[in-house]
Amino acid sequence: MPHADLKFSNDLDFDTVSLLRTIEATIQRHDAGSGECKGRAYPAAQFNHTHCLLDVSMLTKPHRDSAFTQSLLADLRADMEHHLNQPCYLSLGIHYSDENYITTKHTPSV
């Protein structure tokens, strides 16, 4: 269950939901077993310099090595560049959680 946090200056005009769906599809294309990607967009009303930052968090897996990470980074960058039609600073990173992180689906019993 990857997570994608999109943080950007609110002077950028783009379809965040479409970009988050594209990010999910790109992650699943690289790793079909990754599951749904929990995407969130955070526009910043107060900022210095127009920017867009994508932070992707994933669980550590043996196949998610350096080659996997670099390939995924390149495709995520292309996704972002496709969706952003204004000049801006662009940053992105993939972070791997360690064994002290859990993710699960909560279904309350009522």
Helices marked H in 6-100? 16-30, 66-83
The 8-class DSSP code of residue 49 comes to: S
Can you name the residues that pair with 15 across neighbouring β-strands? none
* pTM of this prediction exceeds 0.85: yes
Q: What is the mean pLDDT of each run of 10 residues along the chain (110 residues)?
A: 96 98 98 95 98 96 95 98 97 92 87
- 57-68 as b/e, with b when 16 or more CB fall inside 10 Å? bbbeeeebeeeb
